[in-house]
Amino acid sequence: MRISLTSFLGTKLGDGTLAALTRHVDDFAESSVEETYASTLSQS
């Protein structure tokens, strides 16, 4: 059974990168929502 290097790396990198990217996007969305909420509160 021979696994091609690109598909093996693609799977490993793909899973890790996707998880990291999702986490990063979640953090970014959360912080920007908090900033928007805070600035809205301070304006009113």
Quick one: pLDDT band at residue 9, thresholds 50, 70, 90?
low
| Residue-wise pLDDT tens digits, 15-41 | 777 778 788 888 888 888 888 888 888
Which tokens in the block code for residue 36? 């928007």
The total number of structural domains in the chain stands at: 1
The domain in which residue 11 lies consists of 5-42
Return d(Cα 39, Cα 44) in angstroms, integer: 9
DSSP 1-44: ----HHHHHHHHHHHHHHHHHHHHHHHHHHHHHHHHHHHHHHH-
The pTM score is: 0.39
